[in-house]
Each structure stands twice: as C-alpha cells, then as structure tokens.
Amino acid sequence: MIHSAKRYGLYLFSILAVILIFAAAFQIRGAAGTNEKNIPILCYHRVIPNPTSSYDLTPEQLEAHFQYFQSNGYTPITASQFLEYRKKPALFPQKPIVLTFDDGSKSHYTQVLPLLKKYGFKATFYIFTNAMKGSKERWLTWDEVQEISQAGMDIGSHTVSHPYLTARDKMNDEQYQAWLEKELAQSKKILEEKLKISVNTLAYPFGLYDNEVEAAAIRAGYKGMLSINMGLNQPRENPFRLKRRLMVNSMGPKSLTNILAEKVLDLEILSPADTNIVRAKPVIRFRTNTPAVNAVRLEISKYQATLKPDSQGIYNYEIPGKLRAGFQTIIIRGSDADKNSRLNSWSFYYKPGETTE
C-alpha cells in the first residue's frame, strides 16, 4: 500500500514536472517575442521621516513608489540580475525595473529593507566601505549590510571613500592609477570578503567617470558600472555605461509614469566620444537610428537647443558660449513615430587649456 502510494506520488510529480517545463518554455518564448526592453534603473538615497535634501524620500513617499511599481506590473530585479539576464534576454520579466540605494545610510536597514520585504522586491545597495567606520546612527554597520545581503539583496561597490574619481589633483600618473585601484579594487575585495558574496557592479560616486576611471574599473573586475546619466537601458547596452535616474522627493506617481514610459533614443555618437577627456570646447555631433525622429532637443550645461539633422543625417551643435570645466553631460530627447518620448545621454570631461600629452 505504502509502496503504491509512493509510486502514485512519483507519477503525479512527473506530470507536474512536465507541465512546469512546458509552462516555462512558453513563458520564455512569450517574453522573447515582445519588443525590446527599455529598463529603468532608479537611484535612491536616504529614506527618512524629515528630509533635509531633495534626494531624501520619506518612508511614505518610497512606499508610494513601491505601490506604483506593484500596481503597474513592474518586477524589480537587481543590477546583478540585469547583467545575468542580458546574456539571455528572454529571462527578463515582462516589465523589469532596477531599484538601487546609494551610500549605505542607516535608513536602508531601518526603512528600506522592511519595505522591500513587504512588497517582495529585490534591490541593489551601493556601499562605500568607509561608511561602516562612521557613526552607527547615520551609517549601516557590517552586521546590517550582512543582513541586507542575506535577505537576498544585491550589494554593489560605491568605492572605499566616496571620492571624485575623476579628480586627479596633484597626483602623477602612477599615483593616480594606484589611488584608483585602491578605491575600486579594495572596496570590491572588502565587500566580497566580509559578506562572502561576489560584487559585480560599481556605482560611480557623484556619477563621475571618464575613460581612465572606466578602464580602472574594468581592471578591478567589475562586470557593470552605473552612472547617473539619464536614460533607459536595453539588454544590449554597454554594461560598463549603464544609466540611472536620480530620484528626488518631488517625484510623485505622475513623474514615475513619465520616467518609466521613456524609451531609449538610439544614438550613434560621433563627437565627443562618451567618457573622453576633451581639451578644447567640442562640437557635438551624433546621428540617431530611431525611426521618425526628425528633430531632437539637446541639453548641455545651461544650453538648450532644438536640432534638425543635416543632409547627411548628422546633428551638429556648437556650444554658443563659455562651457564650465569639468564633467559635462549631453542629454538628447526626441519623439518616435508612435509619439513615445525617447531619451539618451553621454558625458565627457572638459579640461580646457591643458596640453595633450
């Protein structure tokens, strides 16, 4: 009797397994058949009852965002999952979104983790390892980071000391490279050893990067890097140049609707190249391969312009006035044939007047 019950159980199990395999196969095929994904990566900071900066959200505001994601069918995935799924885009859920929390504020343990658990969401936390040497009232402790990690959250690096990575100051080449390596490789190593996890991604402090910083991050072993340049991410995106939307506390459901509805404006950047260190004020040149975009809105620093392409299909923009030295981001917006709002951006580092080595 017991024997036959067991066999019966095994029989039921096999049927169930077959059903599950079919269901999975159909789901994968269904997802692959849909349009290319435009995946938002959102960048949050502290979550505290009395905000002192526009980057602080109240717990109620964050929960309103979570409710919005839930009722609009978004599935939060981590930055590590984004990297994993991009190799096989059929693995992406129908409406993926990546939630990231920067800096290691205490509130990530007291407010954010409980909310993530309540909604069954995943997120990535970017930690700079010196934070855990600071005040326990203000910053996470190692035990709390451990608990966040063990709750299934993804931990990424935000360097050792949260510096301006592009600021070389008075360091010579050798000193600068050694310093970059310390900030990038050491933070990864400390997090991996303390938490017994693999740290796959880096969020640039203040969103600052250039080609030397990027090269150093790749050498340090990161599989993905995130800026705070505006735009969405398609699975085929360069994983070393992922874009994130900086979240501020004035963003209600209406701004969420707009942000999440945006799509990638397909750009072919001609000049200045993304990440480049530029010595003379550049002429901005690019093409777009997005169909039916025939005029775009460009924004750099305090300048804005509506541009039409020349006879070669190239958009040209000469910055009419002075450009501040430092990190500069070019944002391009346009509408496609279906009136979708499309967006992309890239950055360069402007160091005027210095001679090229």
Shortest distance, position 52 Cβ to Zn ion, whole Å = 16
Site for Zn ion in 247-276 (CB under 5 A): none
Give 119 or 164: the residue with its C-beta nearer to Zn ion: 164
Determine what percent of the chain falls in helix, strand and coil, rounding each to the nearest 5.
35, 25, 40
DSSP string, 104-150: -BTHIIIIIHHHHHHHT---EEEE-GGGGGS-TTTB--HHHHHHHHH
34 CB-near residues (< 8 Å, 6+ apart): 94
Nearer to Zn ion, 103 or 214 (CB): 103
Q: Please tell me the distance from the alpha carbon of residue 127 to that of residue 142, in angstroms, as a whole number.
A: 11
Binders of Zn ion among residues 313 to 332 (CB under 5 A) are: none
Which DSSP state fits 233? Answer: B
Rounded least distance, CB 116 to Zn ion, Å:
19
Site for Zn ion in 129-148 (CB under 5 A): none
Instruction: Give, for 19, the enclosing helix (H) or strand (E).
Output: helix 2-33
Which CB, 205 or 231, lies closer to Zn ion? 205
259 near 251, Cβ under 8 Å? yes
Nearer to Zn ion, 230 or 298 (CB): 230
| Options 28-36, 146-154, 198-206, 278-286: segment touching Zn ion (CB under 5 A) | 198-206
Q: Which residue is nearest to Zn ion (CB)?
A: 102
Q: Which residues contact 328 (CB under 8 A, 6 or more apart)?
A: 300, 301, 347, 348, 349, 350
Which parts of 83-122 interact with Zn ion (CB under 5 A)?
102-103
Cα gap 120→104, rounded to integer Å: 21
| Beta-carbon contacts of residue 12 (< 8 Å; ≥ 6 apart) | none
Q: How far is the CB of 274 from Zn ion (least distance, A)?
A: 21
Q: Which is nearer to Zn ion, 329 or 341 (CB)?
A: 329
Q: How far is the CB of 21 from Zn ion (least distance, A)?
A: 44
Interface with Zn ion by CB under 5 A: which range of 87-95, 204-212, 246-254, 327-335? 204-212
How far, in Å, CA of 217 to CA of 49, rounded? Answer: 35
Candidates 203-211, 227-235, 281-289, 308-316: pick the segment binding Zn ion (CB under 5 A). 203-211
CA distance 72 to 70: 5
What is the closest distance, in whole angstroms, from the C-beta atom of residue 206 to Zn ion in the complex?
7
Quote the DSSP letter at residue 7.
H
Q: 102 or 274, CB closer to Zn ion?
A: 102
Q: Give 127 or 300: the residue with its C-beta nearer to Zn ion.
A: 127
For the chain, the maximum distance between any two Cα atoms, rounded to a whole number of angstroms, is: 89
CB of 284 to Zn ion, least distance (A): 28
- Between 158 and 333, whose beta carbon lies closer to Zn ion? 158
212 binds Zn ion (CB under 5 A): no
- Residues forming contacts to Zn ion in the complex (CB under 5 A) are 102-103, 205
